C-alpha cells in the first residue's frame, strides 16, 4: 500500500498497482472506525450510502467495500451508478451517517479511488468531507477486531432519481429559463445518466455530446481543463449556433461553460454568472470565492448587493467559510461550485441551472455578459519549480513587505492598480503565481518582476 494515494481531498491511485482490493478493505474498515468515533455510534448501528462511477476499477473496489460493511453489521444502501452530485445529495437528503463513492474524479482511466463524506453531527443540513490524508493517519492506527460481535448487515438497492430531480428543479428559478439551445458534453462520464432527464423539465433544446458511459473516455480527456478537452464542444456550439456549451468533468462535480462564440470561460467568470442568479433568489446573500479569483468577483458581488466572502484555495476551505460566515454558495477558478442548500457540497447540476437562469434573465448573448465581468486583465497561473519554497517566499516577503495583504494561503500582495498571489503547491516543489492588473502589458511586466526575484 502506497501512502501517496491518500490525497488532501480523497483517495486516488493506479488500479491495481497502487490501489487494489486489499487496500479497499483496509479503507472500508478505517472509514467505519472514523464514522463510529466521530458520531459516537457503534459500528453495527451505522447506516451508509454507497455508489460508484463507471470506471473499470470502481466495481471490484466497491464490491469489497460493500462486503466489508456488511460483515461488520452496517446497514448499506447501494445507489450503484450515479454522479458525485447524486452521491452528496443521497447522504444529505436521506440523512445517512456517511457515504463512500468509488471514483477517481477526473484522473485518467487507469486510476481508481474513493470519495468519503459524513453527515455533520452538529448540523444535519451539511455534510463533512473525510480527506484521504485523514483516513491514512487512522488506517496506520487500525486495531482489530472493530466489533466484538459479528452481526450481518443489511443491504438495500436504492434509486434516488425522482427525489433528486425534484430537489434540483427547486434550486433555481426554473420559470425564468427561456428556450435556449444548449450543447452539453458529459465526456462519457456520470453526468450523462441524468442530463436528458433534467432537460425534459426545461424549455431548452439539448444537444448531448458523448452521453454513453465509457470508462476509457475515448472522446476527450476526463479533465475539462486539459489542453484541447473542450475543442469538440466549442466546435459543436458553432455548428449548431447554440447559445452556450457546458462541459463537466467525468464524475460531475466541476462545470465550465463555452460562450456562443466557442470561447472557454474561466471558472471565476462562471462564478459571477451564478452569483447573479443566486442574488436574485437570495438578495444580500454571502458568496464565497477563493483568493486567486479575479477581484471582479468581490467588486461585482458587492455592487450587486451581495456579501463577498474571501477564502483560501480548495473547496473544503470554501465550504468552511460558507458555513462560518453564512454564505449561500461558493466557487473557484477550478470550476467547483458548492451550495448551502446542497449540504455545502459541489453540484454541477445546480451550477448549470443557475447559469441558464442568469443568461435567460439577462437576455443578451453570453459573450456580452462576460464582457461586463472582465474588469481586469490576467494571465494563466504560472507554475515555477524551485529548490527551497520557504527561501523563495521569504525573498518575496522582503521585497513587498509594505504591501502584503495577508498570508492565509501563500502571500497576497496588493497595489492600487495590480495584485498578485504566490502560494506553494501541496504536492510538488512548485510556486504558483497569479497576477492581475489593469492591462495585459502590466500583467506581463509584473510576472517578469516576480520571476526576477525568484531567480535572483
Q: Catalytic residue numbers?
A: 105
Burial degree of 72 (CB within 10 A; 0-12, 13-18, 19+): buried
- Record the cell numbers describing residue 284, joined without a space: 444580500
- Record the cell numbers describing residue 255, joined without a space: 462545470
How far is Cα of residue 366 from the mean position of the Cα atoms in its chain?
23
Long-range (24+ apart) CB contacts under 8 A made by 120-124 are 121/38, 121/39, 121/40, 123/323, 124/95
Closest listed residue to residue 233, CA positions, set 218, 250, 217, 248: 248
State in Å, rounded, how far the first CA of the chain is from the last one: 41
Q: Phi-psi bin for 95: left (phi > 0), alpha (psi -120 to 50), beta? A: left
- Record the cell numbers describing residue 408, joined without a space: 492565509
**213 vs 97: CA distance, rounded Å:** 29
Q: Using alpha carbons only, give the angle 347, 166, 268 rounded to the nearest 5 degrees.
A: 25
Burial degree of 371 (CB within 10 A; 0-12, 13-18, 19+): exposed
**456 vs 452: CA distance, rounded Å:** 6
SS3 377: strand
Closest listed residue to residue 379, CA positions, set 315, 333, 425, 311: 333
Q: What share of the chain is helix, strand, coil (3-state, %, to 5)?
A: 40, 25, 35
* Residue 118 parent element (H or E): strand 111-119
Q: Using alpha carbons only, give the angle 348, 237, 213 rounded to the nearest 5 degrees.
A: 50
Strands 411-415 and 345-346: unpaired
Report cis status (omega within 30 of 0) of the bond before 441.
Answer: no
Do the Cβ atoms of 46 and 74 come closer than 8 Å?
Answer: yes
Quick one: DSSP state of residue 76?
E
Amino acid at each position: 500500500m502506497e501512502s501517496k494515494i491518500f490525497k488532501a481531498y480523497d483517495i486516488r491511485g493506479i488500479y491495481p498497482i497502487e490501489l487494489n482490493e486489499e487496500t479497499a478493505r483496509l479503507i472500508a474498515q478505517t472509514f467505519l472506525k472514523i464514522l463510529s468515533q466521530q458520531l459516537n455510534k457503534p459500528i453495527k448501528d451505522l447506516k451508509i450510502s454507497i455508489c460508484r462511477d463507471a470506471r473499470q476499477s470502481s466495481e471490484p473496489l466497491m464490491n469489497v467495500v460493500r462486503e466489508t460493511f456488511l460483515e461488520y453489521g452496517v446497514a448499506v444502501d447501494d445507489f450503484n451508478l450515479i454522479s458525485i452530485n447524486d452521491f452528496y445529495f443521497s447522504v444529505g437528503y436521506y440523512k445517512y451517517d456517511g457515504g463512500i463513492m468509488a471514483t477517481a474524479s477526473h484522473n485518467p482511466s487507469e486510476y481508481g479511488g474513493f470519495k468519503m463524506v459524513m453527515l455533520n453531527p452538529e448540523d444535519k443540513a451539511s455534510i463533512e468531507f473525510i480527506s484521504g490524508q485523514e483516513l491514512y493517519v487512522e488506517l496506520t492506527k487500525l486495531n482489530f477486531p472493530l466489533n466484538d460481535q459479528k452481526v450481518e448487515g443489511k443491504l438495500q438497492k436504492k434509486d434516488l432519481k425522482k427525489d433528486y430531480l425534484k430537489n434540483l428543479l427547486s434550486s433555481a428559478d426554473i420559470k425564468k429559463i427561456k428556450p435556449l439551445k444548449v450543447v452539453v458534453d458529459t465526456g462519457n462520464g456520470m453526468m450523462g445518466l441524468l442530463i436528458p432527464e433534467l432537460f425534459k423539465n426545461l424549455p431548452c433544446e439539448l444537444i448531448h455530446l458523448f452521453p454513453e458511459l465509457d470508462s476509457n473516455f475515448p472522446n476527450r480527456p476526463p479533465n475539462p481543463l486539459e489542453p484541447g478537452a473542450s475543442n469538440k464542444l466549442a466546435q459543436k456550439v458553432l455548428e449548431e449556433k447554440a447559445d452556450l456549451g457546458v462541459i463537466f468533468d467525468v464524475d460531475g462535480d466541476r462545470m465550465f461553460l463555452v460562450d456562443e462564440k466557442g470561447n472557454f470561460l474561466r471558472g471565476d467568470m462562471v462564478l459571477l454568472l451564478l452569483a447573479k442568479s443566486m442574488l436574485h433568489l437570495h438578495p444580500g446573500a454571502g458568496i464565497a470565492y477563493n483568493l486567486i479569483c479575479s477581484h471582479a468577483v468581490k467588486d461585482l458581488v458587492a455592487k450587486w448587493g451581495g456579501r463577498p466572502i474571501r477564502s483560501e484555495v480548495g473547496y473544503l476551505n470554501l465550504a468552511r467559510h460558507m458555513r462560518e460566515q453564512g454564505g449561500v454558495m461558493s466557487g473557484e477558478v477550478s470550476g467547483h461550485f458548492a451550495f448551502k442548500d446542497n449540504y455545502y457540497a459541489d453540484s454541477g447540476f445546480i451550477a448549470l441551472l443557475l447559469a441558464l437562469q442568469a443568461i435567460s434573465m439577462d437576455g443578451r448573448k453570453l459573450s456580452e455578459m462576460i464582457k461586463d465581468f472582465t474588469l481586469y486583465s490576467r494571465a494563466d497561473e504560472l507554475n515555477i519549480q524551485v529548490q527551497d519554497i520557504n527561501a523563495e517566499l521569504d525573498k518575496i516577503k522582503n521585497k513587498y513587505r509594505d504591501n502584503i495583504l495577508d498570508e492565509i494561503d501563500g502571500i497576497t500582495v496588493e497595489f492600487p492598480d495590480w495584485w498578485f498571489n504566490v502560494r506553494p503547491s501541496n504536492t510538488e516543489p512548485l510556486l504558483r503565481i497569479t497576477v492581475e492588473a489593469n492591462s495585459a502589458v502590466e500583467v506581463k511586466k509584473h510576472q517578469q518582476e516576480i520571476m526576477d526575484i525568484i531567480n535572483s
